[in-house]
Amino acid sequence: MSDETAALDELARRRGFYFQANSAYGGVAGFYVYGPQGATLKANLEEAWRDRFVRREGHQEIESPDIMPEVVFEASGHLAGFDDMILECPECGASHRADHLVEDGTGIEEAESIPPEEVQEIVADRGLTCPSCGAPLSGQPVEEFNLMFGTNIGPGSSSPGYLRPETAQGMFVEFPRLKEYARGQLPFGVAQIGKAYRNEISPRRSLVRVREFTQAELEHFVDPERDEPPIERVADVELPLYPADEQQAEDGGQVTMTVREAVDRGVIGLPWIAYYLGVAKGWYERIGVDMDRFRYRQHLAGERAHYAADCWDAETEVGGNWIEVTGFATRADYDLRKHAEHSGEEFTVFRPYDEPITVERPTVDPDMSYLGPEFGGAAGDVADALERLAETDPDAFEGETVTVEADGESDVVPVEVTGFAVEEVTENGEHVRPHVIEPSFGVGRIVYTVLAHACREDTVDGETRTYLALPPELAPTTVGVFPLMDKDGLGERAREIAADLRRAGLSVAHDESGAIGRRYRRQDEIGTPFCVTVDYDTLDDDTVTVRERDTTAQVRVAADDLAATLASLRAGDLAVDDL
């Protein structure tokens, strides 16, 4: 653990941002509690995300269940392909994520994209050992481990379910109803902030790799042939990019170009992805991510999820390591197509034509009085197979017989009993299956990044000061209210002012304990952007001192104007210098 991450974790525990859960019973790896400061910071960050990616973009927001039936994950592919590589120590029995062992022990980057058999060879060739006991791991099998938490829905085991590994499926599986709320008009977006669960093999690095976490995900449903993003809104935003070809080049490195340049040069192949990279960069700056420790990295071919045609990660540097905080993927029509196949529901949107058109449409009307006696219980399957064949290969009906595949069997049917015909029909439109653009944000990792990037040290009055330079809209507490001392009515007036500010909707800390400088330091360390001091001048003219955290600058403000002034400072509509 680096000095930066160790110091951050110590501050987080001491000041109530986050700490390991269930510590009274020894703790369980991969589960964390957000304390009083952390829970509020996290909620403020989620609200900032909601403001930018839901309200400002005109999208909808839903909340779906954390537990879903097994059939959902059969359709989505998670049961078959949501795996990590596991390697077990033969001596102590500890389980390790094999690609992490390779990355930590060899310097190889993105080992997740290497096939398990090659990872096993690397472990043997490099003589890697167990981090827990030091035993050699050469020759130990590297196997696939499914990360989903299983459960049962209701009593018994007849209805298996899973804790969702991503919030996305809750939006995809409800698409037939959600499209109605969007009046069947593409494009439209559906967002969700909620918990996801992954049974990580080796949770580590604090909030970076955990077993329960919060995602903020947006599924933007678009017509792949007609809908284009409003690139002009972000065309001039400069993106720090680390494309796949630069990662694979011997002398490759990060490049900077505008959104427009990245699209025009084909560096980012899909304009929708480029649009959201541009939007998100402004949001990261807004919440305090250090742009000198930030980049967008393109997934290598072996890294991409089974559904992703292209994917870029927003990565931040903390403690000398780059961590993924957001994935920007195009899921195409994979999820909607899979759920349509498994459920039998319609996962499309009707696209009307400008004018009705007349087309020739092959149809069948099978003679069931023939199919029934001939094929018995399979007659319905044969009829369905004939209908599909007429749609895909009408020329197959030109002979005297036609062969179809039904229920695993090849069946020969006389054409004369199929009722095959080509009819002219008038169509007013067609059904289109949308493609999906997905920005998926890891809220905990962003909280971790914001805290790390906000941590500062300086010298005030000859003493070293540690403070969190959090943006005011994210800070858990907006203002600390202190009496200079608790006598002569100062304490009572400070309590009155604190109550007034709370009624005005501000988050307020009231502190009477210790020297005024120490009280300032306590608020600085949790990122409180403003402090108000009630002193003897307050009793004379009803003004107070407002102190700004980063510069420690102080100004006098009338108590009657204090709530409005602080609200404007928090919103960024006003600066202390303006006062």
pLDDT digits (tens, 9 = 90+) for 450-469: 999 999 999 998 899 999 99
Tokens (6 digits) for 520: 């300032």
Together in a domain, 202 and 310: yes
Contact 479, 532 (CB under 8 A): yes
SS3 263: helix
Same domain, 449 and 511: no
3-class DSSP string for 66-101: CEEEHHHHHHHCHHHHCEEEEEECCCCCCEEEHHHH
Rounded to whole angstroms, the Cα distance separating 540 from 488 reads 12
Longest dimension (CA), the chain: 108
376 lies in the same domain as 335: no
Residue 113 falls within a domain, yes or no? no
User: Would you say 312 and 276 are in contact if contact means Cβ atoms under 8 Å apart?
Assistant: no
Contact 568, 472 (CB under 8 A): no
Query: pLDDT tens for residues 257-281?
Result: 999 999 999 999 999 999 999 999 9
Do residues 194 and 299 both lie within one domain? yes
Residues 105-120, mean pLDDT to the nearest whole number: 89
Q: Are residues 270 and 302 in the same domain?
A: yes
Residue (of 546, 470, 513) closest to 11 by Cα position: 470
In terms of C-beta density within 10 A (0-12 exposed, 13-18 middle, 19 or more buried), how is residue 253 classed? exposed
Cβ pair 335, 436 in contact under 8 A:
yes
Same domain, 168 and 291: yes
- Helix 116-125 and helix 98-106, axial crossing angle in degrees, nearest 10: 40
> Tokens in use for 497?
């002012």
> Which residues 6+ apart lie within 8 Å of 234 measured at CB?
259, 274, 275, 278, 279, 282
Based on the domain organization, do 50 and 192 belong to the same domain? yes
Domain that holds residue 369: 354-427
Is residue 148 in a domain? no
Place of tokens 């007034």: 500
Q: Which of 95-99, 234-238, 314-318 is predicted with the least confidence, judged by mean pLDDT?
A: 95-99
Residue owning tokens 């604190």 = 498
Residue 91 domain-assigned (yes or no): no
Q: Tell me: the pLDDT tens digits for 382-395? A: 999 999 899 889 99
What number is the average pLDDT over the span 476-495?
96
Question: Are the beta carbons of 419 and 364 closer than 8 angstroms?
Answer: yes
- Write the pLDDT tens digit of every residue in 287-311: 999 999 999 999 988 787 766 778 9
Q: Which residues pair with 411 in a beta bridge?
A: 404
* Pairing state between β 95-97 and 150-152: unpaired
Q: Report strand pairing: 150-152 vs 160-163.
A: antiparallel
**Residue in the block written with tokens 């080992």:** 111
Q: Same domain, yes or no, for 9 and 27?
A: yes
CATH of the domain at 272: 3.30.930.10
Same domain, yes or no, for 336 and 446? yes
Do 415 and 508 reside in the same domain of the chain?
no
Q: Does 511 map to a domain?
A: yes
Q: How far apart are CA 296 and CA 434, in angstroms?
A: 26
Residue 433 confidence (pLDDT): 97
CA distance 176 to 144: 34
With beta carbons less than 8 A apart as the criterion, state whether 484 and 534 touch: yes
Question: Looking at the structure, do residues 557 and 486 belong to the same domain, yes or no?
Answer: yes
Mean pLDDT of the region 184-208: 96
Rounded CA-CA distance 349/304 in Å is 28
481, pLDDT greater than 90: yes
Say what percent of the chain tops pLDDT 90: 88
Bridge partners, 364 (sequence order): none
Q: Are residues 234 and 193 in the same domain?
A: yes
- The two tokens of residue 45 are 């960050």
b/e sequence 121-160, b meaning 16+ C-beta within 10 Å: ebbeeeebbbbeeeeebeebebeebbebbeeeeeeeeeee
Residue 158 or 401, more confident: 401
Determine, yes or no, domain membership for 99.
Answer: no
Tens-digit pLDDT profile for residues 70-82:
999 999 999 988 8
Mean pLDDT of 95-100: 93
Residue 80 in any domain: the answer is no
Q: Provide the mean pLDDT of the chain.
A: 94
CB proximity list for 348: less than 8 A, separation 6 or greater: 336, 340, 431, 432, 433, 434
pLDDT of residue 156: 84
Question: Which pTM does this prediction carry?
Answer: 0.89
**N-term to C-term CA, the chain:** 43
pLDDT digits (tens, 9 = 90+) for 16-31: 999 999 999 999 999 9
The confidence score (pLDDT) of residue 65 equals 98
Structural domains of the chain, count: 3
- DSSP calls for 311-361: EEEEEEEETTEEEEEEEEEEEETHHHHHHHHHH-----EEEEEEEEEEEEE
Rounded CA gap, 110 and 127, in Å?
19
Contact status, residue 493 vs residue 539, Cβ threshold 8 Å: yes
- Give the residue from 383, 360, 369, 367 showing the smallest Cα distance to 419: 367
CB 319 within 8 A of CB 4: yes
The per-residue pLDDT for 306 is 65
Assigned domain for 518 exists: yes
CA gap 519, 11 in Å, rounded: 17
The two structure tokens encoding residue 233: 């809104």
Q: Identify whether 199 is part of a domain.
A: yes
